[in-house]
Amino acid sequence: MADNHSKEVRSMNMSHIRSENTKPEVIVRSFLHRNGFRFRKNDKRYPGKPDILLPKYKTAIYINGCFWHMHNCKNFVWPKSNTDYWINKLKNNKNRDKKYYKQMKKSGWNVMIIWECQINERRLVKLIKELRMNR
């Protein structure tokens, strides 16, 4: 119970980061890093090479682009041409994702998904709270 109060979350200036066109996974990683979390990146030994793997928290984080992973949000729109190709390709991605998450959970990992469109200060602060509960 002890030191929850001292563990305040170090925040970041999202607009500044955004303006530099930083990739979503870089934003999440640097946020975690500045808050004292240590992790591995894209570890090939695990299904789908999780963007962030936190062994201490037994947690794998996948950071998903809304288009490539077919997020149910306004960022996802079917391409107007080569429709069959895209349907096939993106549905395969989606099925593969599901398979990876299942395999990870089966081996005892917590799986967290962060969508590109949800990356903001509030989501990241929540992420840290969730991680601390997994310890």
Nearer residue to Zn ion within complex by CB, 35 or 116: 116
CA dihedral over 39, 40, 42, 46, signed as positive or negative: negative
Phi, psi of 110 (to 5 degrees): -80, 135
Task: Let me know how long the chain is.
Answer: 135
Element (H, E) at 110: strand 110-115
Q: Which is nearer to Zn ion, 66 or 131 (CB)?
A: 66
Of 39 and 115, nearer to Zn ion (C-beta) is: 115
Q: Looking at 42, 75, 92, 134, which residue binds Zn ion (CB under 5 A)?
A: 75
Query: In angstroms, what is the minimal distance from the CB of 66 to Zn ion?
Result: 3
In angstroms, give the least distance from the CB of 107 to Zn ion. 27
Give the span between the Cα atoms of 32 and 4, in whole angstroms.
17
Which position among 33, 58, 73, 95 is part of the footprint of Zn ion (CB under 5 A)? 73
**Does 66 participate in binding Zn ion (rule CB under 5 A)?**
yes
Burial of 48 (0-12, 13-18, 19+ CB in 10 A): middle
Q: Report if residue 87 touches Zn ion, rule: CB under 5 A.
A: no
Q: Which residues bind Zn ion (CB under 5 A)?
A: 66, 71, 73, 75, 115, 117
